[in-house]
Amino acid sequence: MVFEHAPGMKGLLIDENLPLPTALPTSLPVTHSRQLGRQPSDTEIWDHALNNDLVIVTKDGDFVQRINMQGPPPRVVHLRVGNMRRSAFISWLYKQWPGIESASATHKLVNVYSDRMELVA
């Protein structure tokens, strides 16, 4: 099942610290940071997301610090779950995705925990 994306969202940028799922349940274009070159820096990822109106999806807390200091855009989805097997992580992400995508359209930061989401406007 593919969910229609929220208005104004142009795509997603998946950070290198996350496995690239074969497809997320979204109609948005999905780019993995590895497609930007070999091990792009956080600044390169941030700038690419900023210039292309992409939402950064990451487990890296550095992006949270940056958005709190600089503000959006870009917006950030911070997946705050511990280590999981790849298949379990992707299954969990698919289940959470509709709420994540909806929240990221209207909030600069979406913190996603195993049992809840925290939204920062």
Closest C-alpha to 19, from 59, 47, 50, 61: 59
Task: Spell out, as residue ranges, where the chain has pLDDT lower than 70.
Answer: 1-9, 20-23
Q: Note down the domain range covering 86.
A: 12-120
Closest C-alpha to 72, from 31, 108, 105: 108
Structure tokens at 47: 């700038």
pLDDT of residue 98: 92
**Total of domains in the chain:** 1
Residue 39 lies in a domain: yes
Residue 1 lies in a domain: no
Q: Percentage of the chain surpassing pLDDT 70?
A: 89
In terms of C-beta density within 10 A (0-12 exposed, 13-18 middle, 19 or more buried), how is residue 116 classed?
Answer: exposed
pLDDT of residue 23: 67
Residue 96 lies in a domain: yes
